[in-house]
Amino acid sequence: MSGGGWRGGAMTGRENTWRTLRVLGGIVGYGFLAAFVSLVGMQIYWWFREGEWTHISLGDGIRAVLNHLSIPADSTGRLARLSHWLDAPVDWLGLHKLVEILPASLALFALATLGNFLLVYGTDRLRVGRRGS
């Protein structure tokens, strides 16, 4: 009996790769989808409560993650440089404008879509491999 995985045959390295890609895609896709829905839900709640839409940019989201990581102010690492660049850019000014304008919810949705693509692609590749066996 040829094949692999749950049917009792030995899994190939390629099959393991597609399974890993599928699992990571599911985790990324559904994780970022949950973050997207939570963020938009929070914005809607604030809109109902305050009467105006609260814009949360990609820059705000990155700042929140960096603050959560508790990077010391006197640090010189890459994340500290990113934090300083977000607060006071001296180069890449066009990118900084884009990061400040782009909604964080759009970035989260794009990452969720990418994760879902990996999930579906990995699943399809596993199916093609099984039919070929």
pLDDT in tens, 108-120: 999 999 999 999 9
Please give the residue that has the higher pLDDT: either 126 or 63. 63
pLDDT at 98 over 80: yes
Please give the residue that has the higher pLDDT: either 2 or 40. 40
Bridge partners for 103 per DSSP:
57
Q: Is residue 96 packed enough to be buried (19+ CB in 10 Å), middle (13-18) or exposed (0-12)?
A: middle
- What's the predicted TM-score (pTM) here? 0.79
Bridge partners for 24 per DSSP:
none
- Roughly what angle, to the nearest 10 degrees, separates helices 93-101 and 78-87? 80
pLDDT at 88 over 90: yes
pLDDT at 85 over 90: yes
- Roughly what angle, to the nearest 10 degrees, separates helices 58-68 and 78-87? 140
Listed in sequence order, the residues at least 6 apart from 22 whose beta carbon sits closer than 8 Å to its beta carbon are 118, 119, 122, 123, 126
Q: What percent of the chain has pLDDT over 70?
A: 89
